[in-house]
Amino acid sequence: MTAIEPTHQPVQTRPGTTRPEPVFILSPPRSFSTVTLALLSGHPQIYGFPEMLVFTNETVGDLVGEKGTEADRFPPEYRRTRLSGVCRAIAQAHEGVQTDEAVARARAWLSSRTEWRAVSVLDHLLHQISPLVGVEKSPDTISSDESLARCLQHYPNARYIHLTRHPVTTQRSMQEQNPRYLTNKRVRAVGAASSWYLGHRRIREALSQLPDDQWIRVRGEDLLGAPESGLRRILEWLDLSATDDVISQMLRTEQWNFAGNGPSGNLYGGDPKFLTDPRLRSIPDPGPVEFDPAWGLIDEMHERMKSLAFELGY
């Protein structure tokens, strides 16, 4: 693993260690979380991990086994795609490369530790990359009360970024992503609406229990529309350096360790569209909170989402 030596010691460390506390990006799917992670990973004191999936699985066996949480929820082909994030993270941390051979050894390393708690994998990697600040985002973390509670309970002193995106563009993106597995358009529309609404409500309620300085809310449109000022705001909150040179480096999202699909071209661990072309791009204004009538959502769902969107700044 190669990394730039930090020049400014982070202030938040885990009790009894010198390892900095991690930062977690919390958001529903399709919320610009992969590009946000790639932006933050350009800071010389930050190490961004791909999607690790450690909070939705109690044990490593649940994560990689033929029986368990992942096996119960997803078909084998999709499981390999999902697991490539944690496998490439281990390969990069252990060997500094993400070749097919290194990723296979990472998978074998996981398979020999099926009795481990899944969060122990992230603990291990955080120690591997210390003294850098580890940042992770997995939309699955906020998919249930149990998963999010596991994150907050295991890392009670971590920092949390509540990343938001306009409800209409988020749901449109979700619906475009899932036709292969959800062929019924109405099911896709209702599922996307529920994912956006329940996910943000769950994040809002969980973070409200934390001290105000332990979390920050960031509109993805604001960050990508004006990344220099958006990044300075986040870095100030994290008490990390934000010189012009640092910000310029952070804008080179294609230089993230996990940008692209790896040497073999079949690795993931984030938004497939971004990973295929991991350059920073501007986004159009999302417009008003007006839902497509063709989605067939009931009026009550419209009103609940509009109310929450207003609270989130839309």
Peptide bond before residue 286 is cis, with ω within 30 degrees of 0 = no
| CA separation for the pair 81, 232 (Å, rounded) | 33
* Alpha helices (H) in the chain, listed in sequence order: 33-41, 60-64, 69-73, 76-95, 100-111, 118-129, 145-154, 167-177, 185-207, 220-225, 227-238, 244-250, 272-276, 299-311
Residue 34 has pLDDT above 80, yes or no: yes
- Report helix, strand or coil for 258: coil
- Is residue 298 situated within a structural domain? yes
- Is residue 6 situated within a structural domain? no
Domains identified in the chain, total number: 1
What local confidence, expressed as pLDDT, does residue 33 receive? 98
What local confidence, expressed as pLDDT, does residue 77 receive? 79
CB 64 within 8 A of CB 107: yes
Domain that holds residue 259: 23-47+132-311
- Is residue 35 situated within a structural domain? yes
Residue with tokens 């096996």: 71
- Is residue 1 situated within a structural domain? no
- Report helix, strand or coil for 196: helix
| CA separation for the pair 53, 136 (Å, rounded) | 10
Which among 133, 118, 18 has a CA at the least distance from the CA of 61?
118
Cα three-residue angle 146-216-163, rounded to 5 degrees: 65
| CA separation for the pair 240, 234 (Å, rounded) | 9
Which band of pLDDT confidence, cut at 50, 70 and 90, is reported for residue 13?
very low
Give the domain CATH number at 280: 3.40.50.300
Residue 1 has pLDDT above 70, yes or no: no
For the chain, helix (H) and strand (E) counts, in that order, are 14, 5
CB 54 within 8 A of CB 47: no
- Is residue 29 situated within a structural domain? yes
Tell me the per-residue pLDDT of 115-174, one tens digit each, with 9 for 90 and over. 999 999 999 999 999 999 999 999 999 999 999 999 999 999 999 999 999 999 999 999
Strand 133-137 and strand 46-48: the pairing is parallel
What local confidence, expressed as pLDDT, does residue 187 receive? 85
- Is residue 73 situated within a structural domain? no
Which band of pLDDT confidence, cut at 50, 70 and 90, is reported for residue 183?
low
| CA separation for the pair 207, 212 (Å, rounded) | 8
| CA separation for the pair 277, 261 (Å, rounded) | 9
- Is residue 112 situated within a structural domain? no
